[in-house]
Structure 1
């Protein structure tokens, strides 16, 4: 639950056995479930469910992709490559914004977004990507001669 993005096999099972053991959660499970699903849904899973299968976890938004076991590694690396294609500063800023979204009101969040955008816009990666985008746009607009 602490992962940002999750790819699982169709055969995955998420077992929640703390209640049956007579103990509370550990390792941050209650924190992450509550943040991802809200308090009521997190309590339902922790107190009234024995397990979730991959499809149930997906329908709750706990995982981003459910794939056949044979393609798990390929799908995981494909997602990782997509994230790695995003400049590190942008990844860091977006993770911080999303992670703190419930901490502030909209006005403060908009200010945080503005400051994060300005920090990203001051990087070389941003300049290079904008130049590449503008170059592609201009070459697409030229009529063939």
Structure 2
């Protein structure tokens, strides 16, 4: 049994029920953030240009929007939660350390705190998985 299998087994056996509700809230939050990126791509492109990623800005905008919308939906229903969470980690690392930290590390910078909390939750769900009340668990029980 390799390290990843041991982490998955530990996550599957140590999963309290309230984490499922937290997973749904996280998925809805990411889905809503993806919708807001799609509705205001000009602001996101301007933000990425300020980070000097001009060549990749269009691709990065699409990656962020698609990952948040599709990944948020998958996390909310509990389907491939670990994979969807892993795809969110690079986006949130950039959001925390390069984008939102520029406004300062104060309690007034709510986007920084939201990004940090989301990053911690995404890392948590990439370790512990989707839980009892999820599509993954339903598919595991009804496997034919």
Higher-strand-fraction structure:
1
TM range (shorter): under 0.3
TM-score, structure 2 length as denominator? 0.26
TM-score, structure 1 length as denominator? 0.26
Higher-helix-fraction structure:
2
RCO comparison, higher one (Cα < 8 Å, 6+): 2
